[in-house]
Amino acid sequence: MRHRVLVGTTKGAFILTSSDDRKSWSLTGPHCDLWPINHVVGDPKTGHLWAGGGGEWTGAGIWRSTDDGETWTLSQLSNGMMAEWAANDPGFAEMIGGVPPEAPFPNDLVSIWSLTCAHGTVYAGSKPAHFFKSTDGGATWDRVPGLTNHPTRESWNPGGAGLTLHTMLPHPTKPGHMTIAISAAGVFTTEDNGETWERSNRLDNAENPKHHDHEHTHEIGHCVHNMMRAPSDDGLIYQQNHHGVFRSNDGGQNWHDITEGLPSSFGFPIAVHPHDPQTIWTIPLNGDIQGRFPPDAKAAVWRSTDAGETWEAMREGLPQENCFFTVLRQAMAVDSSSNGGVYFGTNTGSIFATTDAGETWVEIAQHLPTVLSLETLETA
């Protein structure tokens, strides 16, 4: 079994590979012409890779590789300032290899924030929040208008990074059924491949939690940071929110607050064990305006083995003094092993891993650019 960790950073995509059961790792990159890459995903059936990102300089785009990351092809979705400069400066155009062709979505598309593949289709979420799909492996993309034209769209507010569609959870057995998260518009579900969307942010225990400091005490709060579906229970979804950690037992229709026992209600990622839907991990930070680093500057991954009813801090191998890193919303992932392989990346360029469900941690990469996302890919 070959294990890979797919890394999105502010300076391209990187790939960590282990062929000795995760004892040692090799690194390749940066890939994707040093573009800011918000998310990298792979298809375990074909080994194909997709990397989405961009920004005001490059425009938005999705890179794809069909040869294990050796070569990459770009699907440019919008043009940025680089294309404008090239169109007006022949010398600059020559330096970058010509004037980029006009992209299909030239108006307000800034970058791609999330990717997933399911049931023969590749999906992408963007900044600002639009929903795209590709049925030809990522060569061409269509924007699905249902989310763009949602009747509540004018009331959506951007989060700190803008109005981003950062999480997509396809249903494992129902094609066209997906739950997504937008910061800061909340949770939405579609059952018709994105043509229509139902907003679902209802909190089922609003009278109990004492840490809510936002006005929507009957809801979870619309600034969702990350969501994960429990692979062995398709109705069970967990989320880390700006205002706490929540669990849904009904596919996101209702949410139960499970923050009690954590040192903070603020954090970004959450991860779920691939074989035990009751085991989850999250990384609390000290607060929104308190610095966004681990409480007391001591790193810990917090684990629950009872679906968030109780929590314990896992610290062995993690820095316990002067630790001021941040772990961003997509920068945590699990592999498919039964012994609990978990990975997280930091804004200081480190990647930590555990192969014993969080009991001990080791640093498997360091000195990378800011880590924006992690995903795993395992092939024979």
pTM for the model? 0.94
Per-residue pLDDT, 108: 83
Per-residue pLDDT, 107: 78
DSSP state of 90: H
Q: Could you tell me if 262 and 303 are in contact, meaning their C-beta atoms sit under 8 angstroms apart?
A: no
Q: Could you tell me if 234 and 251 are in contact, meaning their C-beta atoms sit under 8 angstroms apart?
A: yes
Per-residue pLDDT, 218: 65
| Signed CA dihedral, 29, 35, 39, 42: sign only | negative
Dist. CA 62–CA 74, nearest whole Å: 6
Q: Could you tell me if 148 and 76 are in contact, meaning their C-beta atoms sit under 8 angstroms apart?
A: no
Per-residue pLDDT, 232: 76
C-alpha atoms less than 13 angstroms from C-alpha of 308 in its C-beta half-sphere: 24
Low-confidence ranges of the chain (pLDDT < 50): 213-216
Beta strands in 160-223 (DSSP E): 164-170, 178-183, 186-190, 198-199, 202-203
Per-residue pLDDT, 215: 47
Per-residue pLDDT, 210: 52
Other beta carbons within 10 angstroms of residue 153's beta carbon come to 14
Produce one character per residue of 124-151: b if its CB has 16 or more CB atoms within 10 Å, e if not: bbbbbbbbbebeebbeebebbebbeebe
Dist. CA 221–CA 275, nearest whole Å: 29
Name all contacts of 256-259 with Cβ < 8 Å and 24+ positions apart: 256/203, 256/204, 256/205, 257/203, 257/205, 257/208, 257/209, 257/220, 258/304, 258/307, 258/308, 258/309, 259/209, 259/211
Per-residue pLDDT, 214: 47
Beta partners for residue 313, in sequence order: 302
